[in-house]
């Protein structure tokens, strides 16, 4: 592999961990996008739908904060999911001006198919490493994530839904 010139401390861009993570993330992203082709969604859109399935109805601001995605990206993703009939919008039962998004039957089916395809992607990626290597990589990457983002707390809703 061609490398950039080393600085006096011996740094090489192409041999650095951040660069390798970036290249790997891009390769995995392209592979996932190919695997979910035909669903009519992007990786981000599928990810939001998966989380709506797991967590229940959420507002756009909940998703933006909780997943650390820009509000604009969340709005674009939700607009697409709404357009293809994967989500339904409804007013928040307590804070009527807040809009909640929840999966429609079509969205539930999309999440089911998308999750199957992601399981196949995971199998392919895991097959590159040993079982222990795969677990180790995940643990080490989570350490980096925690260090850079500062928290691994579960997502908290800004507008909790009270049932009484």
Task: Please report, in tens digits, the pLDDT of each residue of the chain (164 residues total).
Answer: 455 555 667 788 888 999 999 999 999 999 999 999 999 999 999 999 999 999 999 999 889 988 888 999 999 999 999 999 999 999 887 777 889 999 999 999 999 999 999 999 999 999 999 989 999 999 999 999 889 888 766 666 655 565 54
- The angle at the Cα of 25, spanning 131 to 9, to the nearest 5 degrees, equals 95
Q: Which domains does the chain have, with CATH numbers?
A: 32-148 (1.10.10.10)
pLDDT digits (tens, 9 = 90+) for 116-126: 999 999 999 99
pTM: 0.81
CA dist 59 to 38, 68, 84, Å? 27, 14, 18
Helices (H), 2-160: 17-35, 43-55, 60-67, 71-83, 105-128, 131-149
User: What gap in Å lies between CA 123 and CA 117, rounded to an integer?
Assistant: 10
């Amino acid at each position: 592999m061609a490398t950039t010139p080393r600085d006096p401390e011996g740094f090489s861009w192409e041999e650095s961990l951040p660069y390798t993570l970036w290249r790997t993330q891009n390769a995995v992203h392209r592979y996932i996008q190919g695997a979910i082709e035909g669903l009519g969604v992007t990786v981000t859109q599928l990810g939001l739908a998966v989380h709506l399935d797991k967590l229940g109805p959420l507002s756009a601001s909940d998703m933006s904060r909780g997943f650390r995605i820009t509000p604009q990206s969340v709005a674009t993703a939700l607009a697409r999911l709404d357009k293809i009939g994967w989500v339904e919008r409804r007013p928040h039962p307590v804070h009527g001006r807040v809009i909640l998004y929840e999966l429609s039957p079509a969205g539930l089916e999309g999440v089911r198919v998308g999750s199957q395809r992601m399981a196949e992607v995971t199998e392919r990626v895991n097959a590159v490493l040993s079982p222990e290597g795969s677990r180790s990589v995940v643990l080490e990457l989570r350490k980096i994530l925690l260090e850079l983002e500062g928290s691994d707390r579960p997502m908290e809703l800004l507008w909790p839904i009270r049932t009484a």
